[in-house]
Amino acid sequence: MKKFADRLPHSATRSATSSTTHERTTRGPGPALFAMALGGLAIGTTEFASMGLLPAFAADLGASVPEAGTAISAYALGVVVGAPALAVLGARWPRKRLILALAAALALANLASAFAPTFGAFVATRFLAGLPHGAYFGTASVLAASLVPRERRPRAIATVMSGLMIANVVGVPGATWLGQSAGWPAAYVAVAAISLVTMAAVWWLVPDVRSEQRGSIVGELSALRRGQVWITMAVIATGFGGSFAVYSYITPVLTEVSGLAESAVPLALAVFGIGMTLGNQVGGRLAEIAPVRTIAAGLGSATVAMAVFALTAASAVTALVALFALAFTTTATTPALATRLMDAGREGPTLGAALHHAAFNVSNAIGAALGGVVLAAGWGWTAPAAVATVLPLMGLAALAVAVRMERTEHRRDLALAA
């Protein structure tokens, strides 16, 4: 039997090994992907619920509202720092064990946020809560991809990411309501509880892939030497910026321009969250067929959606339709971009996937800052959406450069092979 296996082509041997890996669990990949998606629910809830709870923790901890905004910035900084650092430091760990450790760190950091005695301590705990964010999604994405055939990777990654999207529909409104009714610390305790449930689900439902190819610190760091990694990060950082320019100032636009009551704003945010959730799922399927076209179509459509929002925000109905379209089209690019970063990283797929979330938070800062500049200039509440239409176009330009680089590399490889 061994001699027969030795005569098999390398691809056939790899396929047999892959099949053994997939057959290791009789449940199939679905429950494992669901378990890892729970962590995304916790992460999305803690990231976005802080915005709704900002006035409450500011008043309780003796900070002004502008000062309290530094807590949100601290979380984003934690993501940017933690995504590459923890992905590299955990390179040699089995991925299931690393996911469990990151979920535990998320639980501890959110408990620390709930019981922070001062505003300074609270800001520090928000930075710590952001550290596991990108590394968790990066590790979970690579592990999810290893549980399915290669052509199904984008859909598996989209399933893991769905927790982050669903957080905007269920987790954030729920945590905000809990924080308002039981005190803001209760929201962070709830996130810690979800993180603990994630640990139990991952331990029980995610298989131990004994034959998985572990990474190395050198291998993961090698991803940073590849131009495709950096240019794809540029696509994300600029392409998503427009969405954040709109989302960061959505409440005053809807109440001051669209005429919605403040009590209806959570409903509008839920519409945005539903658009993200559906866009993520549809994008996972489209990325299996035509990944580059999916990214290009999503960014182009996002530009149109922002322009429509800026021009028609005076109508609540058209504003909500445009918000849904913006969320759907932008998020539909996520699975294709995450897969592209994993492939571009080659020997460092975990770092590549983690950098997706670092770039995502850079886009958050870019979009919010651009919106703040035009509002400070007195251009009006819809100005952030109007001006930010340039950001997805910049993402499209970066994507064109990435595709051109890819084709050049392919021609060079063919010439060397000949």
Residue at a domain's end among 197, 214, 231? 214
Contacting residues for 397 by C-beta, under 8 A, at least 6 apart: none
pTM of the model: 0.77
Rounded to an integer, what distance in angstroms lies between the CA atom of residue 405 and that of residue 400? 9
Which of residues 196, 214, 232 is at a domain's end? 214
pLDDT confidence of residue 212? 53
197 & 275 share domain: no
Q: Answer yes or no: do 113 and 235 share one domain.
A: no
- Pair 43, 99: CB distance under 8 Å: no
Weakly modelled stretches of the chain, pLDDT under 50: 1-25, 211
Query: Are residues 210 and 230 located together in one domain of the fold?
Result: no
**Which CATH number characterizes residue 43's domain?**
1.20.1250.20
Q: Is the dihedral of CA 283, 101, 199, 109 positive or negative?
A: negative
Both tokens of 120, joined, read 């300074």
Residue 128 and residue 228 in one domain: no
In a domain, 7, yes or no: no
Q: Are residues 199 and 226 in the same domain?
A: no
Sorted by sequence, the CB contacts under 8 Å of residue 90 that are 6+ apart come out as 98, 101, 102, 135, 139, 350
Answer yes or no: is 395 within a domain. yes
Residue 163 and residue 242 share a domain? no
% of residues, the chain, pLDDT over 90 = 47
**Structural domain contains residue 406:** yes
261, 330: one domain: yes
Identify whether the C-beta of residue 147 lies closer than 8 Å to the C-beta of residue 24. Answer: no
Distance of alpha carbon 347 from alpha carbon 363, whole angstroms: 26
pLDDT score at 27: 62
Looking at the structure, do residues 164 and 47 belong to the same domain, yes or no?
yes
What's the CA gap between 339 and 157, in Å, rounded? 8
pLDDT tens, position by position, 48-77: 888 778 778 888 998 886 677 788 888 888
Tokens (6 digits) for 184: 């803001």
**Six token digits for residue 150:** 């290669």
Kindly state whether residues 161 and 243 are assigned to the same domain.
no
Same domain, 179 and 236: no
Residue 254 lies in a domain: yes
Q: Output the pLDDT for position 15.
A: 38
Same domain, 199 and 248: no
* C-alpha to C-alpha distance for 231 and 234, rounded to whole angstroms: 5
pLDDT of amino acid 156: 92
Helix axis angle for 291-312 and 265-289, nearest 10°, is 160
| Domain stops at, among 214, 235, 266 | 214
**Quick one: pLDDT at residue 174?**
84
- For residue 6, being part of any structural domain is answered with no
Determine, yes or no, domain membership for 99: yes
pLDDT computed for residue 65 by the predictor: 66
pLDDT, tens digit, 9 for 90 and up, residues 8-42: 343 333 333 344 344 444 567 889 999 999 999 99
Domains in the chain: how many in total?
2
Query: Is 17 part of any domain?
Result: no
Q: Are residues 248 and 372 in the same domain?
A: yes
In a domain, 40, yes or no: yes
How far is residue 136's CA from residue 106's CA, in Å, rounded to a whole number?
A: 10
Residue range(s) defining the domain that contains residue 394:
222-418
- Taking only the tens place, the pLDDT of each residue in 158-201 is 999 999 888 888 888 888 788 878 999 999 999 999 999 999 99
Residue whose tokens read 């550290």: 131
